[in-house]
Chains A and B, each alone.
Chain A
Amino acid sequence: MIEADDPKWDIEITAQKHALNLKLKDVWHYRDLLVLLVRRDFVSFYKQTILGPVWFFVQPVITVITYNLVFSNLANISTENVPGPLFYMAGIVLWNYFSDCLTKTSTVFKDNAALMGKVYFPRLIMPLSIVLSNLIRFAVQLVLFILMLFIYHFKGAAVAPTLYILLFPVLLLLIAALGLGLGMMISAVTTKYRDLTFVVSFGVPLLMYTTTVIYPLSTAIAKYSKYSWLIKYNPVTAITETFRMGFLGKGTFSWDLFAYSGIVTTVILMAGVIIFNRVEKTFIDTI
């Protein structure tokens, strides 16, 4: 029976879970919140510090120096004739962005439980704001990397960008999507089972060693031909190698590996979004 004065309802709250209803219209309505959250993260990062945004540089610079001393000078791991600092910087900039997105997203429910327990807003906004806030940091570090590239280039080092640099926007998208997707999957599980947070805290730094951050893929294949699949099929590897190929002209690039990375990333992102979407509705009852 349809009543004559049946009003059109704007919001319906039910128990049903539409895994694929992402409420993107809602997300769009809250876009100002997204911008403000990114701003909040950026501003609160350097409030009450003397050096302010300079801190964005300090961490990668010191890491590069350390890696150069240990892995290049001490352990003599090849950097494919690229000057050590430049080689490591390329890896670190990308890896930092990936691991920041992943670790911050994986605790998004836990960190924002107080807020999410009191107000409704599309929950997807939070992980998106994490990816965007870290993008600022990534951009700053990328500028540092490009400066280094210029200096080394004019000093006569054998590094020069290639046409693969045009793939950079895709690489950025892939690495962000990968961090976001994995992070969302973990965040959803940790609302009920905290075990995974421990895995993340020691697992992500370890994962770096199966990615070509401190060594080139070619060396890994040459030295560990039996286990190099582990490194090859890590979706971050193809992204790092392509990045180095584009900016430095050195690296292992194949369209196969690149496409593989793309497909894995898409699947992970989709799975992450669906799981996140399922959990966001009631996570506040269990967290």
Chain B
Amino acid sequence: MAKAIKVENLSKAYQLGNFGTGTISHDLERFWARLRGKEDPFLKIGEVNDRTQKGESDIVWSLKDLNFEIEQGDSVGIIGRNGAGKSTLLKVLSRVTSPTTGSVKIKGRIASLLEVGTGFHPELSGRENIYLNGAILGMRKAEIKRKFDEIVDFSGVERYIDTPVKRYSSGMYVRLAFAVAAYLESEILVVDEVLAVGDAEFQKKCLGKMGEMSKGQGRTVLFVSHNMDSILNFCEKSILLNNGIIIANGNTNEVIQVYKQDVFELSNHWVSTSATKSAPAIREVTLSLTGKQPTFELNIITRVEGELKTPAAFIAFDIQNSMGTTIMQAIPQLTPFMHFDGTTIISNTSITLHGLIPDSYKVSVWIGPHNDHTYDWQRDIISFEIENSPTQGRTFPHHYGNGFIVPDSRLI
């Protein structure tokens, strides 16, 4: 099988912190070192990107010595936690930024879809934007013209095609933008989690189109997602990144197993590491799980600090399974609100969980004065694990394909 992409010793370093008055002296030092043929004094080789630990230098390695190959026609998923280096890898592959060391070799045209509707101009009509967006993605005008009708047809916004896109609903906007990208004639397509937008029906259509591209047309697709379900549906092979290093590479099923065992860290306590701000922020969260199947009691203590402009705020919790799918959201009853009288408030929430299948679950915490106004949103910060089946005496395993929650059921 021919190779489509070959990545060798790929590394990418980022400079942390602010660029300010100090940077110019650093830059001069580096320039001086380079002139004398020495190594960059600020790139310390060997340091690993672990954002939870404080490193010694201001440089962080977002990708470290990656080596892999992708064969033509494969659809490969790239998975990992937040900050594992997935987006950096995509950026390097799509030539948005250069690697610090190493190389990537690509056979054929590569198109990247890191965002839907890149370069759309709000004042221009749908028609004009199809041409502009297509050209930005690397299509020639004649090519777009040839596919114009198909693109419009796929997007389903024919009626509005001569209306400025600023009058579009966000759904229509996304449809049109994805449609342009879907008709790109490139051998390799790099897709970020853009499918998280749009309605469910359209998401399905997009995934279908991507499947068709990879299986039907023999195109190579790289797909980054947090959602293990869509990776599992769509990619036969996967690469697991953690702290900028490849942990596993191979069959998607096996890679997801590794992800769940090694990368998914359980933690029932979280403390904010960012600097104190005047705006309300979640500073500390502690979780405890009591009870036994089929009913658990999840107790979450949240400490919020900061000055509040409104007298009260809501708190909400998203619970996600290990596949990355949010399966439920808990918003405690609207009275009593969280009332702020000082600058610190400790809220104690109790959530009753019923019939959850055995898995590792992550919890995100959100606070805000209104459902469309966010003070702070900390994603996937605490987690818990459920080991036994909700059904007593059940020995055969549960599977995601059959749902996440087991209702009470009995023979009468």
A binding-site residues for B, Cβ under 8 Å: 5, 7-15, 17, 29-30, 32-33, 35-37, 39-40, 43-44, 47-48, 114-121, 192-193, 281-282, 284-286
A13 touches B98 (CB 8 A): yes
A121 touches B124 (CB 8 A): no
- Once the chains are docked, how many angstroms separate the CA of A285 from the CA of B63? 14
Q: Assess A32 versus B14: contact at CB under 8 Å? Given A13-B103, A13-B106, A282-B97.
A: no
Map CB proximity to A onto B85-123 as digits: 1 under 8 Å, 0 otherwise. Answer: 000000111111111111111111110101100110101
Q: Assess A33 versus B136: contact at CB under 8 Å? Given A15-B98, A40-B121, A281-B98.
A: yes
B114 touches A284 (CB 8 A): no
A192 touches B123 (CB 8 A): no
Instruction: Tally the A-B contacts, defined by beta carbons under 8 Å.
Output: 119
Task: Return the contact of B124 from the options A7, A30, A40 (Cβ within 8 A).
Answer: A40
Task: Return the contact of B135 from the options A5, A11, A36 (Cβ within 8 A).
Answer: A36
Cβ contacts under 8 Å, A5 to chain B? 2
Cβ contacts under 8 Å, B132 to chain A? 33, 36-37, 40
Interface presence of B23 (CB below 8 A): yes
Cβ contacts under 8 Å, A33 to chain B? 132, 135-136
Q: Assess A120 versus B95: contact at CB under 8 Å? Given A12-B103, A13-B106, A32-B140.
A: yes
- Once the chains are docked, how many angstroms separate the CA of A37 from the CA of B136? 9
Interface presence of B137 (CB below 8 A): yes
B119 touches A115 (CB 8 A): yes
Q: List 19 A-B contacts (CB under 8 A).
A: A10-B106, A11-B104, A13-B93, A13-B95, A14-B102, A15-B98, A15-B99, A29-B140, A32-B135, A32-B139, A36-B132, A44-B121, A115-B118, A117-B96, A118-B114, A119-B118, A119-B119, A193-B23, A285-B15
B118 touches A118 (CB 8 A): yes
Known: A13-B95, A47-B164, A116-B96. 18 other contacts (CB 8 A): A11-B106, A13-B92, A13-B104, A14-B99, A15-B103, A17-B98, A30-B138, A33-B135, A33-B136, A44-B121, A115-B119, A119-B112, A192-B27, A193-B24, A284-B91, A285-B14, A285-B97, A286-B19
The 6 closest A-B pairs by CB, nearest first: A120-B95, A33-B135, A9-B105, A281-B98, A13-B104, A11-B106
Cβ contacts under 8 Å, A9 to chain B? 6, 105-107
Interface presence of B128 (CB below 8 A): yes
Minimal Cβ-Cβ distance residue in A for B62: A285
Cβ contacts under 8 Å, B103 to chain A? 12-15
Interface presence of B3 (CB below 8 A): yes
B135 touches A30 (CB 8 A): yes
- Once the chains are docked, how many angstroms separate the CA of A282 from the CA of B91? 11
Interface presence of B141 (CB below 8 A): yes
B107 touches A7 (CB 8 A): yes
Cβ contacts under 8 Å, A10 to chain B? 106-109
- Once the chains are docked, how many angstroms separate the CA of A284 from the CA of B105? 21
Cβ contacts under 8 Å, B118 to chain A? 114-115, 118-119
Cβ contacts under 8 Å, B135 to chain A? 30, 32-33, 36
B binding-site residues for A, Cβ under 8 Å: 2-3, 6, 14-15, 19, 23-24, 27, 91-110, 112, 114-115, 118-119, 121, 123-124, 128, 131-132, 135-141, 164
- Once the chains are docked, how many angstroms separate the CA of A39 from the CA of B131? 11
Task: Return the contact of A286 from the options B15, B104, B138 (Cβ within 8 A).
Answer: B15
- Once the chains are docked, how many angstroms separate the CA of A9 from the CA of B110? 12
A43–chain B nearest beta-carbon distance, Å: 7
Cβ contacts under 8 Å, A32 to chain B? 135, 139-141
A119 touches B123 (CB 8 A): no
Interface centre among B93, B109, B119, B128 (most CB of A within 10 A): B119
A43 touches B124 (CB 8 A): yes
Q: Assess A15 versus B124: contact at CB under 8 Å? Given A40-B132, A193-B24.
A: no
B40–chain A nearest beta-carbon distance, Å: 11
Cβ contacts under 8 Å, A286 to chain B? 15, 19
B123 touches A43 (CB 8 A): yes
A118 touches B102 (CB 8 A): no
Q: Assess A13 versus B99: contact at CB under 8 Å? Given A32-B141, A40-B132, A285-B15.
A: yes
- Once the chains are docked, how many angstroms separate the CA of A138 from the CA of B408? 76
A263–chain B nearest beta-carbon distance, Å: 28
- Once the chains are docked, how many angstroms separate the CA of A85 from the CA of B15? 54
Minimal Cβ-Cβ distance residue in A for B8: A14
A12 touches B138 (CB 8 A): no
Task: Return the contact of A284 from the options B19, B27, B96, B100 (Cβ within 8 A).
Answer: B96
Interface centre among A37, A114, A119, A285 (most CB of B within 10 A): A119
